[in-house]
Amino acid sequence: MSRILVVDDSKFMRLILKNYFEKDSSARHEVVGEAEDGASAVAKYKELKPDLVTMDIIMPTESGLAAVRDIVLFDSNAKIIMVSAMGQEKVVEEALALGAKGFVTKPVKAEELLLKVKQVLEI
């Protein structure tokens, strides 16, 4: 079973992602935590030590990029998938350079997200 931390400043987007994971019959996922900004994401990561993080890029307090940097500094094996809107390719490239393992674009399609999760976790 994979333990997942969902990070997005939109409560609605966190709910959508959580539902995708809970309804995936091909693998067992458990959303063990949620965070609404980068600073909370880093704290929750350290506390929960999830197998995977889905990370929004644009968030208040601390951006997804800063959170990726901080999480990877804490755990170089962290598995993070960026979830970004179209048109943020440069930022996604930066996130991948910082240590993110992949990305999916918003609006997120369940099949695309779950396939990327499977690839990153190598299930």
pLDDT for 12-40, tens place per residue?
999 999 999 998 878 889 999 999 999 99
Please determine, for residue 86, whether its predicted confidence score (pLDDT) is greater than 70. Answer: no
CATH of residue 95: 3.40.50.2300
pLDDT of res. 27: 82
Q: Smallest Cα–Cα separation from 19: which of 38, 41, 4? A: 4
- Mean pLDDT, residues 94-101: 95
For residue 35, what are the domain limits? 2-121
- Sheet with 29-35, strands from edge to edge, namely 29-35, 2-7, 52-56, 80-85, 102-106
Q: Provide the domain count of the chain.
A: 1
Mean pLDDT of 73-86: 93
pLDDT at 89 over 80: no
Q: Tell me: the pLDDT tens digits for 57-73?
A: 999 889 999 999 999 99
User: pTM for this one?
Assistant: 0.95
Tell me, what amino acid is at 58?
I
Task: Tell me which DSSP letter residue 49 carries.
Answer: -
